[in-house]
Structure 1
């Protein structure tokens, strides 16, 4: 993605936190005609051996699995909070509107998971992330039903080979920060989330 230096996150923890806070991502590769094919899906992030791996699955009828078996390189896009930014945050009037947002793009290599126990481990990760109270119910389901459900998905690991993290919060315009922060803190859920990131990054407009 287009990534001006002032918006490139230097702290790798920012990308990891965004991926965990906004796990519903877009998996992007190409179809048989070379046209982009996109699957929205939840992913679980694993950190091990100094690397990052994303775990996920698609329904068995989804042709994306076939495309990924043919070409194992893919892109995963995570979209964090985003909102309009008014030019009224500036002390002068010669300004234009823009948009604030955080996003992560991960280049990945895909490997498929075939064994039942490995698929089961992946599903339990996702259950733990989003509905831990369901875990006991999943474990109590008949074994043949579990196997049937696992047979209905293609599960995979996405090993991250390159990571880009964009934090577009007007970092290079400190004269806007105090008014921008106040506007976002009084706004909707996305705007309040952006205000939280501004505070985390010290973009408050307060004297150092």
Structure 2
């Protein structure tokens, strides 16, 4: 991902927020047969305060990726959407796409079966937590034998990235008036409405405004 200093995202707290809110990621590996990609849910490692993530792949994706043997690229995609030049303040303008994204690279550590079980349990608890009647991994109708058979079909991993490239392109190069127009368009009820992107823009620009006041 081409980086631009104006859009660079380096704050670990913000990156952790991006990952926790967008756990469905793309895993990319370079193999002897070319590039391969898979899609899985991950979680931040709750025993760490950095960008370490944990997750699993279903067999035989571990072999296809060479998991644990070569570098893995994890693509995290946050809110994104089309921005029309018609929302700008006149003059020669071009359309663009606003987005928040991070690339985490490193060689993952393969988890033991017991560690993998704990990660699977946390994944289920995380996503079932908001359900009216959560179906947790170790609770009936599941039995221990069923859960352990389930685990044997997966390979757990932990990735502490050795390289992070993250970008938050949210019209930071536009005037406050244009930013307000874009947010208003994205917040409407037309077919191009995009409430998550509008909220992310509002949050980012409020933080920028606060920083400017503090440094004034």
2:200 maps to which of 185, 190, 197: 197
The corresponding residue for 1:125 is 122
User: In the alignment, is the contact (CA less than 8 A) between 2:68 and 2:107 conserved in 1?
Assistant: no
Q: Using structure 1 for the length normalisation, give the TM-score.
A: 0.87
Partner of 2:41 in structure 1? 42
Q: Is the partner of 2:26 in helix, strand or coil?
A: strand
Alpha-carbon displacement from aligned partner over 1:44-69 (angstroms, at most 9, x marks no partner): 11254543221111111225466124
Deviations 1:131-161 (A, max 9, x none): 13111x5334222222211111111111122
Report the TM-score, using the length of structure 2 for normalisation: 0.84
Give the length in aligned residue pairs. 204
- 3-state DSSP of counterpart to 1:52: coil
Query: Tell me, which stretches of 5 or more residues in structure 1 are unaligned?
Result: none
Compute the displacement of 1:10 (Å): 4.0
Question: What are the residue-to-residue correspondences of 1:145-184 with 2, within 5 Å?
Answer: 145-174=146-175, 175-184=177-186
What is the Cα deviation at residue 9 of structure 1?
1.8
> 1:105 deviation in Å?
0.8
Deviations 1:94-113 (CA, angstroms, capped at 9, x unpaired):
11111111101111221111
Which structure has the highest strand share of the two?
1
Residue correspondence of structure 1 range 1-208 to structure 2 within 5 A: 1-33=1-33, 35-62=34-61, 64=63, 67-71=66-70, 73-115=71-113, 117-132=114-129, 133-135=134-136, 138-140=138-140, 141-174=142-175, 175-187=177-189, 191-202=194-205
Q: Quick one: distance in 2 between partners of 1:130 and 1:96?
A: 40
Q: 1:190 to 1:21 in 2, by over 3 A?
A: farther
